[in-house]
Amino acid sequence: MASSRRRTAAITTLAAAALVLPLTAGCGAVEQALSCAQTAATITEAAADLQQAASDATENPAEATAALDRIDKSLDTLGDSTGDADLGKAVDDLDKGVQDARDAINEGRPPEVGPVTDAAGELAKVCSPG
């Protein structure tokens, strides 16, 4: 009788684990998708700020640099958690666009914002749920 109870308890425990594990894995995926979407929104906003600041970047580089810094900070967060090839490519493209824009500002030229906004749009697409 005691072994029957132990066997029933073991079966119940295994069944519960079989139900809980996929749910917790699913939660992790949902949390990662939400984090990706939130980061993509932050980057898209910073790219829009960069676009506005770009025309004045040669005279007032601080605004453009601040927008680039925000994008860099978000990229660091996102880049650390990426395991998706499309997401990784979008992050790499955005990183290159940011670096090129930063180089232009440092050289006293207006930054090319097209590659940054294009990559930010791609990132938003990749991070969109569904």
Q: Tell me: the pLDDT tens digits for 57-76?
A: 778 888 889 888 988 888 87
∠ Cα 91 96 102 (to 5°): 125
Q: What is the mean pLDDT of residues 95-99?
A: 93
**Average pLDDT for the chain:** 74
What are the CA-CA distances from residue 10 to residues 18, 68, 114 (Å)? 12, 55, 60
State the Rg of the chain over Cα. 23
* pLDDT surpasses 80 at 94: yes
What pLDDT is recorded for position 126? 82
Nearest CA-CA partner of 51 in 123, 130, 124, 120:
120
pTM recorded for the entire structure? 0.69
